[in-house]
Structure 1
Amino acid sequence: MHHVLVLNASYEPLNVCSVRRAHVLVWKGKAEVVESHAQPLRSAAGAFVRPHVIRLLQYVRVPRAIKRRISRRALFARDGWRCVYCGTREGRLTLDHVVPRSRGGDSVWENVVTACAPCNLRKGDRLLEETSMSLPHPPRAPAPLLFIRLAAQRVPESWHPYLPSLEAA
């Protein structure tokens, strides 16, 4: 399945959608094609431009505090697919609550980190102060760009000018 990058009217990346959804937005006059594929979309009635990057014509106000659900895939990607305690990429990765749920910790981005199974077992339901473990930096919600990168299995070259700091996500 091909994906299309959706930009706000200000060229800020918003989301990724299907080619079909992008075509409908363009056809209804809600978006314009910024980048297109060489191969057109074909139907019985004719051929249409196959969008690769579209821009909405009306600015969509995006709330700064979007609450995105925590998924293991997004969490592991945020932490670079490595244990935040020991730095290993080996073994099974797990989700660890910095402040354990048994001690009142919530399942929010600022309280969950990626941990290998041995580190998670070693920490258990204790606070970091009660163990010899530490975090290199406090956890925080990932940048919206991370979700765009996860939605598209590979980021096409033509998207790079519209996605700031791909390495930072």
Structure 2
Amino acid sequence: MRQVLLLNATYEPLTTLPLRRAVVLVLRDKAEIVHQDVSGAVLHSAAMTVEIPSVIRLRRYVRIPFRTRVPLTRTALMRRDNFRCVYCGRRAETIDHVHPRSRGGKHVWENCVASCRTCNHRKADRLLEELGWTLPITPGVPRGAHWRLIGIVPDGDPQWAPYVTEPAA
């Protein structure tokens, strides 16, 4: 399903919406189209024509509570590790705890990595030192505003780039 970027009244990115929900917000005058789809496609009804939006902006400001820490989800972890196993570099399918939970390891960003099934099974509940393995990267909490936004992929729709990228400091 086609996704549309939703901006707050202050042009801050909030989330992505399905096209149908975005059009409803525009038709109810709760949002305005900031950027149309590059294909130039339109939706027709008996009484009107609406251009398909790529980016919409709410007319009224919506206060969103600020999250200081990015929540640990499977999708976010896989995205952080680029969907690659940190042990062998193949396509990752599972999550592995570097320090196993059965040995007191926590379920936190600093202890979780993406892993392929083979490496995850081979490691089991052992420590890396017991296997003689090393991590090529140090797992950590992702940084940047786009990680706090729900549903926004940093390399999503190229039309979103001016609205999602962080300004240079």
Shift of 1:6: 0.9
For 1:70, give the aligned amino acid. Answer: T
Runs of at least 5 residues in structure 1 that lack an aligned partner in the other structure: none
1:107-146 alignment runs, 5 A limit: 107-135=107-135, 136-141=137-142, 143-144=147-148
Shift of 1:145: 6.0
Please say if residues 41 and 47 of structure 1, whose CA atoms lie closer than 8 Å, have aligned partners that are also in contact: yes
Runs of at least 5 residues in structure 2 that lack an aligned partner in the other structure: none
User: Aligned Cα RMSD in Å?
Assistant: 2.9
Is 1:44 matched with 2:46?
A: yes
1:42-98 CA-partner distances (Å, limit 9, x unpaired): 112221232210112314324214764623x44322201222123x226x6321012
Give the match for residue 155 of structure 1: 156
1:111-132 CA-partner distances (Å, limit 9, x unpaired): 3211233432343212345443
Aligned residue for 1:159, secondary structure, equals: helix
Q: Give the Cα separation in 2 of the matches to 1:124 and 1:63.
A: 37
Distance 1:32 1:66, change over 3 A: farther
Q: Give the Cα separation in 1 of the matches to 2:30 and 2:63.
A: 11
Query: TM-score with structure 1 length normalisation?
Result: 0.74
Q: Give the Cα separation in 1 of the matches to 2:150 and 2:129.
A: 30
Query: TM-score with structure 2 length normalisation?
Result: 0.74
Give the match for residue 4 of structure 2: 4
- Length, aligned pairs only: 159
